Amino acid sequence: MFDNAIFATAADDLCRFGRILYGRGWSPATSSNYSIRIDANHCALTSSGKHKGELTPADILVVNMAGEAQTDGKPSAETLLHTQLYQRDASIGAVLHTHSPVGVVLSQIWPDDVLTLQGWELQKAFAGETTHEDTVHFPIFANDQNITRLAANVEQHMQNAGQGHAYLIRGHGVYTWGKDIHECFRHLEALENLLGYQLELLKLRNL
């Protein structure tokens, strides 16, 4: 069982942030998926195939940590990428997955499996980052329709290299997380801008 009042609040928050993310151009059409933890065993999640600029509470469902629906609605095919994060870190309270143009393009053209950034003041928007002099690392995973396998690859990487703040999937988009939806959105907004800076640098260097 889960707390219906907490679920209702989470559903409202997901609808509100869905409109924000759609308005930013980061979640076009029915792409992307978002979730908020309800308790240790459940999270609220956007249903599959819903337009993110037009979400209503009826478009949000509850899933358990096995990715199984506990209320009406069809879970996203990528649900296990959300539950993988919730299961590994009890402090994670929200996960946002978006398909922004800059995230998709940069992940597709970046030659390495990790995007490393240093020297940007905006790095301090990530929880625990206190100086632009540090480096922040964002792994880039190959896109894979086998989500169980992809989630296992993400978990293995985090066990070996640390959890970090976000990761990219080539030609697909980004995943970010935080202690709550507000911190998660801050991380996403910072990441989107940092990716934009990096993409602009690449353009200028190739002039």
Q: What is the CATH number of the domain that holds 187?
A: 3.40.225.10
Residues of the chain with pLDDT under 70: 207
Phi/psi at 45 (5° precision) = -140, 145
**pLDDT tens-digit readout, 37-88:** 999 999 999 999 999 999 999 999 999 999 999 999 999 999 999 999 999 9
Q: Which residues are annotated as a binding site?
A: 97, 99
Position 206 scores a pLDDT of 82
Q: Is 116 helix (H, G, I), strand (E, B) or coil?
A: strand
DSSP secondary structure letter of residue 122: G
User: Helical H runs in 63-178?
Assistant: 79-88, 101-109, 147-161
Q: Which residues are annotated as a binding site for Zn(2+)?
A: 97, 99
Residue 66 lies in domain = 4-205
Residue type, 44: A
Q: Tell if the pTM clears 0.75, that is, is over it.
A: yes
Position 125 scores a pLDDT of 98
How many structural domains comprise the chain?
1
Position 157 scores a pLDDT of 98
Element of type H or E holding 20: helix 4-24
